[in-house]
Structure 1
Amino acid sequence: MPDTPFSLSLRLPDEAATGRLAERLGAWLRPGDLVALRGDLGAGKTALSRALIRSVTHPDAEVPSPTFTLVQVYDTDLGPLWHFDLYRLSVPDEVIELGWDDARAEAVALVEWPDRLGPLLPADRVEVDLAHDSPDSRRATLTGYGTMAARVAAADWTL
Structure 2
Amino acid sequence: MLSYNGNSATWLSDPAGERGVLSSGKSRAFLTSLLPSGVKITKRGGEGYDFWGHPDEATAQYNHVGRGSRQPPIVPWRLEEQSPGKGLRDYFLNVIEIGDENDSKASEASLVEREGFAGARLDAAGTPVEVLFSREGALTARVKIGAGAESVIEPGIQEQ
- TM-score, normalised to structure 1, is 0.23
Question: Based on CA coordinates, which of the two structures has the bigger radius of gyration?
Answer: 2
Which structure has more strand as a fraction of its residues?
Answer: 2
Q: Which has the higher contact order (CA 8 A, sep 6+)?
A: 1
Which structure has more helix as a fraction of its residues?
Answer: 1
